[in-house]
Chains A and B, each alone.
Chain A
Amino acid sequence: MSLELKDIRDFLAAHHPFDLLPDADLDQIPARLTARYFRKGSVILQPDITCLHLHIVRTGAVETQSPDGHLLARLSEGECFGVRAMFRGGKAANRITAIEDTLVYQLPESDFHELARKHPQFAYFFELMGGARLRGGMQMAEDRDEDQLKLMSLQVSDLIARDVVSLPQSATLREVGQHMSKERVSCLLLTDDSGKIAGIITDRDLRNRVVALGMDYATPAADIMTRDPISITPDAYAFDALLTMTRHNIRHLPVVAAGGDTPVGVITTTNLLMRQSLSAVYMAGQISKMDTADDMAGVIAQIPELLRQLIDAGATSQNAGHIVTTLADTVTSRLLELAEKKFGPPPVPYVWLAGGSQGRQEQTAISDQDNCLILDDSYDAGRHGDYFRDLANFVCDGLNTAGYVYCPGEMMAKTDKWRQPAATWHQYFTNWIQTPEPKALMLCSVWFDLRPIYGKASLYEQLHRQVVPMASGNRIFLAFMVGNAQSHQVPLGFFRNFVMIRGGEHDRTLDMKHSGVVPIVDIARIHALGNGIAAVNTSSRLQAAIHTSSISAQGARDLMDAYEFISITRLKHQVAQIRSGDRPDNFLRPESLSAFERSHLKDAFNVIKTLQTALESSFGKSGT
C-alpha cells in the first residue's frame, strides 16, 4: 500500500467487517478501490443497473427500497450494499438511492470474493446481507445467528409447508394410518362435524397407544387422539411456536385460524431447533427444566451475549425486546411452578402479572423486576395470607437470584400492598384515576402496563375491562398524565443541539432511557388510556392509536419510527459495551455515532418533543 492511502485504510479498519481482516490484507484494499460520488436524490443501483462491486458508504447515507417501493434499510457511513447483486450476475435486487450527498467506495467483485474465501468471518458478515452462497458447504458455529433471525422475522403462516392433513374424528385407526402413510406426514388432525379441530394423532401415538396395546384398527380415531391439543394462530411468530413446543414438550403444533378453531396446518420441530444451542429457544427450554434460581442465573447471565447475537443478526428492538422478555416470563413461570410444588396448590385462584418493561415486552440487557399478584375475591387474609406471602417471596427472591434485581420502588408481589384481591386492586385503580397525585402518577407508569404471566388470566382481564373505560373517561386524570409525561424533557436545546449530562460519572452523555425511551412509552400510554386501547406494548399501542383522533396517523407512525430508532441505538450501544467487556448501561456519547445517526437521533427527539406538546391539545394538561 502506498502509505499515503492510510486515511482510507484507517477508515476501513474502523468499520465492521473490515476490522476483522488481518493488517496485511487490509493494507491491500485501498489501492483496489474506486471512489464515486452521488448527489442527494440520485439512484445508485436499481434492477436494470449492473453492479459488480461491493459498495461501502464513505460519507452520506443511502436508502434501500424493494422493487415495490418498500423502505428496507437506511445505510450510513461504513455500511455496505450491493452484495446481493454480485450473487445475481450483477443484477441489483433493490433500488438504492442517495438520501444525502454521498461518497461511495467500490471494491471489485473479484477482490471481494477473494477476501471472502480467505476470511470466513468476513464472508459470514455478508451472508446475512443475502450472500448466502458465499461459504458453500462450510459449517460454522455462527449458523445459530441466522436461524435466530429467521425465527424472529417469520410468522407461523410462513412455516406451514403444506395444506392441512385431516380426517373426521369418526375415521378408524386403519384409515388414519393409511392416510398418514399416503400423505407422508408424521401427524394428522381430526375434526368434528363443523370442521373444527377436535384432536391430533401422531406417529408416536400410533406406536404407543395402538400397536403396543394391540388395539383394534377399526377403533374410531376419537378414542385415542389427544383432545383439544395446544395450538397456535398463523399470525404468531415462529419464535412463539417453538417456545410453545419446548415449554409443553410437544413436537407437533396445530395451527388454527384466528378467531375460530378451523385447522389450517401443523408445524413440527425440526433439527433447526437442535442447532439453537445458544438461542433463546434453547435457553427458555433449559430454564423450564431447572429446579433452582441459582441454575437459572447461569442462563440469564447469557442474555447480554444473546442480545449481541440478535442485534448483530439484524433484529429490530421490537424483536429483541420480545425475545429477551420471554426469558423473564419463562423464569417467572418456572419459579411459580416450583413454588406451587413447594407450598402446595393455591387455596384460591390467582394471577401473577409483570409490569414495567417486562409487562410491555421491552426488556433489554439490564432489567429489574416489577410484578404483582391479583387474588380471587374469595381470598381470606387470615387463612390464605401466609400461602401467598410465601409464594410471592419465593418467586421475587428467585427472580432476584436469577438476575432480575429487586425493584427499588418495591413494586413487587412480595410487598403486601401489591398482593391483593381483585376488589382491592379495583379500589387502587379507582383512587389513582379519581385523585391523581404525584405518587399515584408514578405508580401508573408501572401498573398500567401489566401483563398476565401465570395463573388465572381472567382475574386480570375482568379488572382491566373495568379500569380502561374509567381511565379513558376521566379527562382530569388524563390531563395529569400529560403533565407528568411532559416532565421528561428530551435532550434537545433551542438550536437543535444535544443537551448532555454534565459532570459526574456520565459526563457528556445522553441518557437514552429516561430522555429517549421513557418519554415515548409515556406518550403511547396516554393515547392508549385515552382511547381505551388494551395493548401494553408501546409499538402496539401506537399502531392502535393510528386509528384514533387523539393523534394523527402520521404522528403515530413518526413516533413509532422514533421509538425504534432510539431503542435500537440504545441496544447497539449496550451491545458495543458487551463486546468490549463492559457493563451495559443507557448512557450514550453522541460522538460515538456517525453524523448521519446523530442527525437522525435529533430528528427522533424532535418528534418526541412535538408529540409531547400535542398531547395537551388532545387531553389538556394539569400540573401536580
Chain B
Amino acid sequence: MGLHEKILDSQVYRRWNRKRATGPLAQFYDIAPVAPERRISDIEFVALDLETTGLNPKRDEIISVGWVLIRNRGVDFSSAQHFLVRPTKDVTESSAVIHGILDSHLADAPDIETVLRQLLPVLAGRVLLAHHAPIELGFLGRACKKLYGASLQLPTVDTLVLALRDIHRQGIPFKSGALKLQNLRKLHNLPPYRAHNALTDAIATAELFLAQINKRDAKGELELDRVLR
C-alpha cells in the first residue's frame, strides 16, 4: 500500500471527513467502522460495482450502481440492489456502447443523491468490496464531497489486489487480461455471467472474493486486516 492509500485509510483522515460531513454521510460516519482484527466470517461486506461514463471521477459520472451483501461467507442475493443513475450530462456514444445504457434509459432514473441516500446506510458498519476499488471509492467519494461536504472513507477490500498478491506469491509471470474479473473467476471455477451490468459484476466480485478467502483459509478464522487493500 502506498503512502497515499495509507493516508486515505488512516484514522486521522476519517476524523477529518467526519467533522465536515453533512446529511446521510454524517449518519454514516456516526457508526464505527469495522475493526481490522475482526474475523472475516463475522463481518458483512458490501460488494459494489459502478458503471460510469468514463474513468476520471473529476470529469465523468456514475450511470449505474449495483451491490449485494456477503454474510457468513455467503453471497445473500436477497440484499441485491441495482439502480440506474441519471447523469447531469448526456451519455457519450462510446460509453453507451460498453454499458448498453442510453440516455433514454436514464431519463426516468433517480439522481445520484437519491441513490446515495439508500447506499450510505448500507455501507455503514460494513466493509466495501470491489474489483479495482479506486474507481468505486473515487466516484463515490467525489459525489459525497459534492453533496455532503466530505469524502467517503471505509475499510475496503479489493479483489484485484488480492489476485495480484496471489500472483506475486506464486512468482509466475502473468499475461495481459489475467486480472480481469471474468478471467479470475474462470481460474476459480466460477461460472461466466452473460449479462454485464453493475449488479452482475457486484455479484461476480462477491463470489470471486469467497473463492479468494477460501483459498487463504477454509475454516473462516482469517482476520480482516489480512485482506484489506
Contacts and interface: CB of A to CB of B under 8 A. Distances in A.
Interface of A: 2-8, 11, 30-39, 42, 58-60, 100-103, 106
Contact of B189 (A30, A34, A103, A106): A103
B74 A36 contact: yes
B133 to A, nearest CB: 20
B122 interface: no
A471 B188 CA distance: 53
B32 interface: no
Interface stretch (B7-15, B102-110, B207-215): B207-215
B82 A4 contact: yes
B75 interface: yes
B194 A7 contact: yes
Contacts of A103: 189-191, 207, 210
A39 B218 contact: yes
Nearest to B74: A34
A32 B77 contact: yes
Nearest to B76: A34
B74 A4 contact: no
Nearest to A104: B74
A474 B2 CA distance: 79
Contacts of A34: 71, 74-77
B53 interface: no
A35 B189 contact: no
Given A5-B77, A35-B210, A103-B210, 16 more contacts: A2-B82, A2-B199, A4-B199, A31-B77, A31-B78, A35-B206, A35-B207, A37-B188, A37-B210, A39-B214, A59-B190, A59-B191, A100-B189, A101-B211, A103-B189, A106-B74
B131 interface: no
Nearest to B71: A34
Contacts of A58: 191
**Majority SS at the chain A contact face:** mixed
A36 B210 contact: yes
B151 interface: no
Interface string B160-176: 00000000000000000
Contacts, number: 76
Contacts of A59: 189-191
B16 interface: no
Nearest to B209: A37
Contacts of B82: 2-4
Contacts of A38: 214
Given A38-B214, A39-B214, A42-B214, A101 B189 contact: yes
Interface in B62-82: 66, 71, 73-78, 80-82
A4 B197 contact: yes
A8 B194 contact: no
Interface residues of B, number: 30
Closest 5 CB pairs of A and B: A37-B210, A4-B199, A101-B189, A35-B75, A34-B74
A37 B214 contact: yes
Contacts of B197: 4
B189 to A, nearest CB: 4
Contact of B80 (A5, A42, A102): A5
A101 B188 contact: yes
Interface in B170-229: 188-191, 193-195, 197-200, 203, 206-207, 210-211, 214-215, 218
Contacts of B73: 36-37
Given A31-B80, A35-B206, A37-B207, A7 B188 contact: no
A85 B117 CA distance: 42
Given A2-B80, A31-B77, A35-B75, A7 B200 contact: yes
Nearest to B193: A7
A100 B214 CA distance: 13
B80 A4 contact: yes
Nearest to A36: B74
Interface string B75-93: 1111011100000000000
Nearest to B207: A35
A115 to B, nearest CB: 16
A11 B191 contact: yes
A2 B190 CA distance: 21
Contacts of B200: 4, 7
A36 B71 CA distance: 10
Interface string B31-75: 000000000000000000000000000000000001000010111
Contacts of A7: 193-195, 200
B83 to A, nearest CB: 10
Contacts of B74: 34-36, 106
Nearest to A595: B189
A55 to B, nearest CB: 12
B80 A37 contact: no
A38 B218 CA distance: 8
Contacts of B218: 39, 42
B41 to A, nearest CB: 12
Contacts of A11: 191
Contacts of A102: 189
A13 to B, nearest CB: 13
A110 to B, nearest CB: 13
Q: Which of A31, A37, A39 has the most CB of B within 10 A?
A: A37
Contacts of B215: 39
18 contacts: A2-B199, A4-B199, A6-B195, A7-B195, A30-B77, A31-B78, A34-B74, A37-B188, A37-B207, A38-B214, A39-B218, A42-B214, A59-B189, A59-B191, A102-B189, A103-B189, A103-B207, A106-B74
